[in-house]
């Protein structure tokens, strides 16, 4: 009996010990699971949905020419005194140069004076061409594909750029040809560009962007929009919680996307950190690094 009682006692203690080990492992596992499964809220950078200018554009290129120009052919030996040409601007009716025979070359309009050498044997080795260019406005004749005929009209804004300058020159469509060129299937349009600082010079290759269908719409950064198939969505912040919202998008300009529906002006949208976010998840708003 005593041996049986000892065996029973041993078994009871053994099973209690096993149960205690299992229970301890269970509760320790729960503790660590709770401790390490709680992740900090992801940090995101936000922006406010606001009205922005969006438009369609036509991009092409053309060569700059002066709005008015004139050339004078002279012999270098006939010029009276020293010819002053470099960076010289003259007013209308100002004397550009005098000749030994008493004749004077008068500026037909205000502009910049220049000189172009003539190849030897064309007009003699001493022949010169004096140029006068009115550079206050520059003209660029461009060819636009015929499928844009319906949107072209005088007065449309144009943005003109050159590899020589890191700036945008403002221009507009002046005139449009009345016929389409059947060989190129394009229509000739003339762009008039403000050049009051005389930066553009005749002969420069210019890139022209014609602006049309301008509209003010709610816009958000492209980085805020996620596109999946035919649907697009953004995450809006409400009480530090990300809320997924489906939107309808339109034009894209300057790194922004126009939102046709699904957002209201003033909504706070996640602009960076979208990949770390899920619907109804708490987030931490951080300031962008400068």
Q: What is the pLDDT of residues 100-127, one digit of tens each?
A: 888 989 999 999 998 876 554 554 556 7
**pLDDT score at 179:** 95
Q: Is 36 a residue whose pLDDT tops 50?
A: no
73 — pLDDT class (breaks 50, 70, 90): confident
Percent of the chain residues topping a pLDDT of 70:
86
Is 279 in contact with 247 (CB distance < 8 Å)?
Answer: no
3-state secondary structure of 247: strand
Highest-confidence segment of 12-16, 128-132, 265-269: 265-269
Q: Parallel, antiparallel, or unpaired for β 127-145 and 186-194?
A: antiparallel
Task: Inform me whether the pLDDT recorded for 37 exceeds 70.
Answer: no
Q: Which pLDDT value is given to residue 39?
A: 66
- The DSSP symbol for 282 reads B
Q: Is the pTM above the cut of 0.85? A: no
How many residues belong to the chain? Answer: 290
Nearest CA to 139 among 166, 173, 107, 115? 173
Q: Tell me, what's the pLDDT at 18? A: 74
* CB of 238 closer than 8 Å to CB of 266: no
Give tens-digit pLDDT for 220-268.
999 999 998 889 999 999 988 999 999 999 988 888 999 999 999 999 9
- Dihedral sign for Cα 142, 62, 70, 112, please: positive
Q: Which residues of 165-181 are buried (b: 16+ CB within 10 A; e: fewer)?
A: eeeebebbbbeeeeeee
| Mean pLDDT computed over every residue of the chain | 86
Instruction: Give the start-end residues of each E strand in 149-197.
Output: 157-162, 165-181, 186-194
State the pairing for strand pair 256-261/268-272: unpaired
Pick the CATH number of 70-134 from 1.20.140, 1.10.3470, 3.40.50, 2.40.50: 2.40.50
Per-residue pLDDT, 81: 83
43-55+216-285 with 57-62+137-214: one CATH topology?
no
- Mean pLDDT, residues 75-99 taken together: 86
Residues 133-189 pLDDT 10s: 999 999 999 999 999 999 999 999 999 999 999 999 999 999 999 999 999 999 999
Helix (H) / strand (E) element for 69: namely: strand 50-75
Token pair of 101, please?
């025979």
Q: How far is CA 164 from CA 50, 133, 141, 167, 201, in A?
A: 34, 20, 19, 9, 11
Residue extents of the structural domains in the chain: 43-55+216-285, 57-62+137-214, 70-134
Fold of 43-55+216-285: 2.40.420
Residue 186: CB atoms within 10 A of its CB come to: 19
User: What tokens appear for 161 in the block?
Assistant: 């750029």
Confidence of residue 128 (pLDDT cuts 50, 70, 90): confident
57-62+137-214 is classed CATH 3.20.20.70: no
Exposure class string for 3-41: b at 16+ Cβ within 10 A, else e: eeeeeeeeeeeeeeeeeeeeeeeeeeeeeeeeeeeeeee
3-class SS of residue 260: strand
- Cβ-contact 52, 252 below 8 angstroms: no
| Structure confidence at residue 153 (pLDDT) | 95
Paired residues of 13 in beta bridges:
none
The DSSP line for 41-65 is PPEEEEEE-EEEEEEEEEEEEEEEE
Predicted pLDDT at 91: 93
């Amino acid at each position: 009996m005593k041996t049986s009682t000892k065996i029973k006692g041993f078994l009871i203690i053994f099973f209690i010990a096993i149960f205690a080990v299992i229970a301890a492992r269970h509760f320790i596992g729960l503790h660590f699971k709770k401790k390490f499964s709680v992740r900090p809220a992801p940090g995101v950078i936000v922006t406010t949905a606001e009205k922005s200018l969006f438009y369609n554009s036509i991009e092409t290129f053309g060569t700059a020419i002066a709005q008015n120009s004139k050339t004078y052919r002279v012999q270098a030996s006939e010029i009276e005194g020293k010819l002053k040409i470099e960076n010289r601007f003259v007013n209308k009716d100002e004397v550009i140069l005098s000749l030994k025979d008493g004749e004077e070359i008068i500026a037909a309009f205000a502009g910049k004076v220049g000189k172009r050498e003539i190849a030897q044997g064309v007009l003699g080795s001493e022949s010169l061409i004096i140029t006068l260019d009115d550079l206050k406005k520059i003209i660029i004749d461009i060819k636009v594909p015929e499928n844009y005929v319906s949107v072209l009209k005088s007065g449309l804004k144009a943005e003109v750029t050159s590899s020589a300058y890191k700036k945008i020159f403002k221009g507009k469509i002046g005139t449009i040809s009345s016929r389409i060129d059947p060989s190129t299937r394009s229509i000739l349009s003339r762009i008039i560009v403000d050049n009051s600082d005389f930066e553009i010079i005749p002969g420069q290759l210019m890139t022209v962007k014609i602006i049309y269908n301008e509209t003010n719409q709610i816009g958000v950064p492209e980085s805020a929009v996620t596109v999946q198939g035919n649907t697009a969505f953004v995450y809006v912040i409400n009480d530090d919680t990300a809320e997924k919202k489906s939107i309808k998008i339109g034009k894209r300009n300057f790194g922004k996307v126009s939102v046709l529906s699904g957002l209201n002006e003033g909504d706070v949208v996640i602009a960076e950190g979208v990949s770390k976010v899920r619907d109804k998840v708490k987030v931490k708003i951080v300031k962008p690094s400068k």
